[in-house]
Chains A and B, each alone.
Chain A
């Protein structure tokens, strides 16, 4: 079996989220070293606070300050911290019920080892040196054997309350395209374009995905298509894409390669943008060492007859 094609794939996005009044107060509070909960209709205090009572679904807004000390309600020892977690050294995940709260907050506990942690142990917030209004303003919890701290009675009104947060997310993958698409990519490295023919309807799909979407059966028969083809439809792009070194306007087109029953899309070059037309005959232009055609250019042949490509529009 040939070697499986693979490439790193990183998905990264800074999610920008707006905050409602309760979340805003809680996260602004963390920035100011104040922990706020919210009171439910039946008098319980939820920390971290939410905007709707999880039992009655009533809207709740009644903010109340709780202490920065509390009790561990359950824990788990994490000997191998992963990227993005609160501490880089081994730590315990903990749910902590802060003094004055009826529910528990998830965070990390800095402790020398699992033997130093138990359910029921007393802990205190260790604040981050630089605080921005995020759950990570709590750097972690630490063991605490003093008296419960007394909350200051804060009302949740702040100068410059936060209205939103940005939470970056990144996930790392190894992408492998599968058998059919890998064959397609391998052929492109030899400047050939291959499709696959459906055993049932006999259509040739380019690029192949290993299945005929009409018949729902596997495709496997390789068919070399092109290199020449016909423009079936196109659009004129007037907006410059970020990091793309192509002058605007340019033409992006659907191209039915000779022998293919599906059009693929590519840029058209070597012709003024306003002279591109349906039926234009084109061929690929490869640049040195490229893994796919840079663009397609006119071949100089007469335009294709509409009837020869109308099924591929």
Chain B
């Protein structure tokens, strides 16, 4: 029998341009304590712990092992790490709970973009033979995708500006957001993308607690049940892909059961305005769906945590009774190369 697994708690930092006064574990620890406090669990009660981060952001090998100090890893705990966004750590934890090996899981992720230049850092994830030696930065690749969408007639610059404006207007209600309210659209960073089409560069962390079956009901008044979750990847060569579409998102959504019923909320991890256009199309989201009520990645983008935050924000809306069926999406890699989709539901009211 398949176990039912839910997100029972979510916490995140206030996302800021720089947290240079704190180490990673110092930034992360308050979030870990907050998410555990929400459930009344202690670190020793957690069955499985999984984290996501990238050493390239800090420029130091095995930097994630220091963050473990924050979870009380002695006596030894069952723990794992992915060098990816925390959404993929959540996927691993969900799998672990499905096997029955654990009833609860702590998932956390963090990213400090402030020590380096995240535009340059992200070039190191590209094909090292044909692409990385040219140092095409993350904005440049997103701009190629945006131009492809404009050429295809899927959007134009005013429509892209509206995506950014809507995101930051919604972020005014999100106390954790880095950019909120009216933000100038700004100059071109790499044309056709302007500052307003790009995510703020910032530091932050997030944590989620998962629980299975009855345990979830004990820990949370209205658990956000994960009805399905799936992730898919596309060829890494950009010139092989149709940049105006995201077949991997569509397939992940299909496998996660997203199309089996309507969703009322979608938290999309679209770091660039044009990527929201691609995702809305791939996920067949109509105008009736509330997209990124948190403000999304255009309001706060701690790299490696921004995808987990989408799942956390979607779950929190279910916890608060503001959503009954929500979709959460996370991405990684250039131009939406890898995509994860989760479908979350609250108990019927």
**Across the A-B interface, how many residue pairs have beta carbons closer than 8 Å?**
189
Q: Which residue on chain B has the smallest CB distance to residue A3? A: B21
What chain B residues lie within 8 Å of A85 (beta carbons)? 134-136
> Which of B140, B148, B243 is close to A78, meaning CB atoms less than 8 Å apart?
B140
- Interface assignment of A119: CB less than 8 Å from any CB of chain B: yes
Q: Residue among B43, B68, B129, B137 with the most chain A CB within 10 A?
A: B129
- Interface assignment of B162: CB less than 8 Å from any CB of chain A: no
Given contact pairs A119-B147, A171-B124, A172-B117, A211 touches B26 in the complex (Cβ within 8 A): yes
Complex CA–CA separation, A106 to B51 (angstroms): 33
Evaluate contact between A93 and B56: CB separation under 8 angstroms. no
> Which of B22, B24, B56, B148 is close to A171, meaning CB atoms less than 8 Å apart?
B56
Q: Residue among A95, A209, A211 with the most chain B CB within 10 A?
A: A211
What chain A residues lie within 8 Å of B147 (beta carbons)? 74-76, 119
Listed stretches B86-94, B217-225, B234-242; interface member: B234-242
Given contact pairs A11-B59, A82-B120, A212 touches B69 in the complex (Cβ within 8 A): yes
Q: Among residues 17 to 51 in chain B, which have CB atoms less than 8 Å away from a CB atom of chain A? A: 20-26, 29, 32-33, 43
Q: Residue among B24, B116, B239 with the most chain A CB within 10 A?
A: B239
- Interface assignment of B289: CB less than 8 Å from any CB of chain A: no
What chain B residues lie within 8 Å of A217 (beta carbons)? 29, 33, 72
> Which of B59, B66, B144 is close to A76, meaning CB atoms less than 8 Å apart?
B144
Listed stretches B184-192, B206-214, B253-261, B275-283; interface member: B184-192
Listed stretches A173-181, A236-244, A305-313; interface member: A173-181
Q: Residue among A54, A77, A93, A214 with the most chain B CB within 10 A?
A: A93
Complex CA–CA separation, A5 to B24 (angstroms): 15
What chain B residues lie within 8 Å of A23 (beta carbons)? 129
Q: Residue among B23, B60, B145, B148 with the most chain A CB within 10 A?
A: B23
Evaluate contact between B190 and A78: CB separation under 8 angstroms. yes
Evaluate contact between B243 and A74: CB separation under 8 angstroms. yes
- Interface assignment of A60: CB less than 8 Å from any CB of chain B: no
Q: How far is the CB of A143 from chain B (nearest CB, A)?
A: 17
Q: How far is the CB of B57 from chain A (nearest CB, A)?
A: 9
What chain A residues lie within 8 Å of B173 (beta carbons)? none
Complex CA–CA separation, A117 to B296 (angstroms): 32
Given contact pairs A165-B129, A213-B72, A216-B72, A173 touches B190 in the complex (Cβ within 8 A): no
> Which of A15, A76, A176 is close to B21, meaning CB atoms less than 8 Å apart?
A176
Listed stretches A97-105, A268-276, A295-303; interface member: A97-105
Q: How far is the CB of B222 from chain A (nearest CB, A)?
A: 28
> Which of B117, B129, B191 is close to A19, meaning CB atoms less than 8 Å apart?
B129
- One digit per residue, 1 when the CB lies within 8 angstroms of any chain A CB and 0 when it does not, for chain B 193-237 equals 100000000000000000000000000000000000000000101
Complex CA–CA separation, A9 to B115 (angstroms): 9
Evaluate contact between B59 and A106: CB separation under 8 angstroms. no
What chain B residues lie within 8 Å of A77 (beta carbons)? 143, 188, 190-191
Given contact pairs A74-B147, A76-B190, A93-B144, A86 touches B134 in the complex (Cβ within 8 A): yes
Q: How far is the CB of B43 from chain A (nearest CB, A)?
A: 5
Evaluate contact between B70 and A171: CB separation under 8 angstroms. no
- One digit per residue, 1 when the CB lies within 8 angstroms of any chain A CB and 0 when it does not, for chain B 87-126 equals 0000000000000000000000000001111011100100
Q: Which residue on chain A has the smallest CB distance to residue B74? A: A214
- Interface assignment of A1: CB less than 8 Å from any CB of chain B: yes
Given contact pairs A4-B20, A114-B191, A167-B128, A54 touches B26 in the complex (Cβ within 8 A): no
Q: How far is the CB of B347 from chain A (nearest CB, A)?
A: 32
Evaluate contact between A167 and B59: CB separation under 8 angstroms. no
- Interface assignment of A188: CB less than 8 Å from any CB of chain B: no
Evaluate contact between A180 and B240: CB separation under 8 angstroms. no
Pairs A-B, 9 closest by C-beta atoms: A178-B23, A216-B72, A104-B239, A76-B143, A84-B135, A77-B191, A54-B235, A211-B69, A173-B59
Of the A-B pairs whose beta carbons lie under 8 Å apart in the complex, a sample of 16, sorted by A's number, is: A17-B129, A27-B129, A54-B237, A73-B148, A75-B147, A76-B140, A79-B191, A93-B136, A93-B144, A106-B134, A108-B134, A174-B115, A175-B59, A212-B69, A213-B72, A216-B69
